[in-house]
Amino acid sequence: MRLSRKSEYGLRALLELTKAYGQVALRRSDIAEVQHIPVGFLETILLELKRAGILGSRPGVQGGYRLIKPPEDVSVGQVIRILDGPLAPIPCVSQTAYQTCQDCPYSEARDCPIQDVMFDVRNAITGVLDGYTLRAFYDLGRNRRVRKSPQRRGKNALSRTQ
């Protein structure tokens, strides 16, 4: 699986919105500046997340975007599915968008050895991505910024193991 630029930017924007959850709405331009996301592309992403019921928006001086679902109730996997579609590596193992594979030589999908492996891949991917909520994702990043490790790239490097 390869994370698309769209999902990467969407998750980065949602980190900012999780940080501001329950406080203020954030302007698109502010999110774009902090997270280094092109404003036009960010607008497309935010609108998709709004249509999916994760974000709300309000126009005006005090306006902007905000999470309308608690960050504890939205998984990273859910966000990626909204922005990129199914997580499954091939369509015949998708839980949300099943299709038979094009030119499949097997009359029964269950006879396909590729499918057996891809079920395991799908389960591993969805297990990890659905296991992280936006709150956990945000907390993970916040903890990394606080904890320092002198073993990695100097004194100010962040540690993945802490």
DSSP state of 67: E
Q: What is the largest CA-CA distance in the chain?
A: 60
Q: State whether residue 127 is helix, strand or coil.
A: helix
Asked whether 11 and 79 are in contact (CB, 8 A), the reply is yes
Contacts of 104 (CB under 8 A, 6+ apart): 92, 112
What's the average model confidence in pLDDT over 16-29? Answer: 95
pTM above 0.85, yes or no: no
| Position 160 confidence tier, pLDDT thresholds 50, 70, 90 | very low
Region of poorest pLDDT, from 77-81, 118-122, 157-161:
157-161
CA pair distance 49, 79, nearest whole angstrom: 8
Tokens of 102: 């094009």
What's the average model confidence in pLDDT over 28-52? Answer: 97
| Position 145 confidence tier, pLDDT thresholds 50, 70, 90 | low
Domain boundaries, the chain: 5-85+132-146
CATH classification code of 5-85+132-146: 1.10.10.10
Q: What is the pLDDT of residue 159?
A: 36
